[in-house]
Amino acid sequence: MANREAKFGGKHVIVTGGSSGIGKALAKRLAELKSELTLVARRETLLEETKAEILAAHPDAQVHVLPLDIADEAKVQAGLGPHLETRPPDMLINNAGIAIPGRFLEQDAQDYRAHMDINYFGMVHMTRTVAPHLVKRGGGHIANVGSILSVMGIYGYTAYAASKFAMQGFTECLRGELKPYGIQVTMLLPPDTDTPQHTAELEIMPAETKAIAGNVKMLSAERVADTLIDGMAGGRFEIIPGFDGRMTVAAHRWIPGIVRWVCDSSQKKAARA
Ligand SMILES: NC(=O)c1ccc[n+]([C@@H]2O[C@H](COP(=O)([O-])OP(=O)(O)OC[C@H]3O[C@@H](n4cnc5c(N)ncnc54)[C@H](OP(=O)(O)O)[C@@H]3O)[C@@H](O)[C@H]2O)c1
């Protein structure tokens, strides 16, 4: 706990997607740790609701809300740029994202574009806007919220996994480039997490995907937020919340053939049912 307070207390942390799910849980935990917060998302009402919930629990909290679409580079620069001139940032958590599962042969081309525009380019636009300020300040921390599907692909997630693999490559390169400036970089790989996004995914998720995903235990958004905060305080690059998630990634790295066999078996059973 002392580590967390030293890391986040009094620091200005920008959280994209801070109005829902993992981002909202992060915002609440960071407010407890006395961070100054800037929450970014498209829907202003959800942002204001989150701000009100935080202020009800912590009346002294400093919370700014910026309603904008991170996929639009001009809007990110126009919305965030002037704000950062008066409120220099210490950390950026690129958490906003979308996930639209579906079978490749049935999925709309527009879905592929949307995943890259938000999950990948949204993160690039935010990082390009914030990183120069961290360089100027002589340090900081950037955390990117990927997924277990940043490092392995499963049935039903061609569009999503491609965008998260792109984020993984970007983040691994960025780590080395920003290190000389005292800026730490972290990659979070959450497994299924109980959030509004996941509930929406379940409504359209192919049965085969559900059968494969059922092999890994779902976590709460609070648990994922806590794991990220502890991992960032510990200066870790890769953070995987939950035992099942860590085992899945380790197995995929060391015995990928067996993991594919398990996925294929789950998929076959679901297709027969
Ligand atoms: N839930 C899971 O099972 C799971 C597992 C692994 C990884 N993740 C990752 O965790 C992150 C958070 O997911 P979540 O489950 O917490 O989702 P969520 O509850 O749907 O929250 C997503 C947040 O991102 C914001 N957002 C989406 N598109 C945006 C855009 N174009 N510009 C600005 N903000 C945008 C949303 O607000 P607006 O819609 O109002 O913009 C919302 O605040 C995502 O990157 C997701 O891929 C989730």
Residue at 129: amino acid letter: T
Domain that holds residue 97: 2-272
Backbone φ and ψ for 218, nearest 5 degrees, come out as: -80, 145
> What 8-state DSSP symbol labels residue 119?
I
In the numeric block, the tokens 């390169």 are attached to 173
pTM exceeds 0.95 for this model = yes
Task: Identify the bridge partners of residue 16 per DSSP, sorted by sequence position.
Answer: 40
50 lines ligand 1 (CB under 6 A): no
SS3 92: strand
**Ligand 1 atom with the shortest distance to the CA of 42:** 41
Mean pLDDT, the chain, whole residue set: 96
62/10 Cα distance (integer angstroms): 10
| 231 Cα: distance to centroid of ligand 1 (angstroms) | 20
Task: Identify the bridge partners of residue 94 per DSSP, sorted by sequence position.
Answer: 144
Where would I find the H helices in 192-242? 196-204, 207-213, 221-233
Question: Region 190-198: what's the mean pLDDT?
Answer: 97
Structural element, H or E, at residue 75? helix 73-86
Q: Quick check: 1 pLDDT over 70?
A: no
CB 68 within 8 A of CB 79: yes
Which residues are within 8 A (CB) of 190 and not within 5 positions of it... i.e. 6 or more apart?
A: 22, 145, 146, 147, 148, 219, 224, 240, 241, 245
161 lines ligand 1 (CB under 6 A): no
Phi-psi region of 103 (alpha: psi -120 to 50; beta: other; left: phi over 0): beta
For ligand 1, atom 16: residue with the closest CA = 21
The 10s digit of each residue's pLDDT in 149-177 is 999 999 999 999 999 999 999 999 999 99
Kindly report the CATH number assigned to the domain that includes residue 109: 3.40.50.720
For ligand 1, atom 23: residue with the closest CA = 17
The 10s digit of each residue's pLDDT in 68-108 is 999 999 999 999 999 999 999 999 999 999 999 999 999 99
- Number of domains comprising the chain: 1
Quote the pLDDT of residue 2: 67
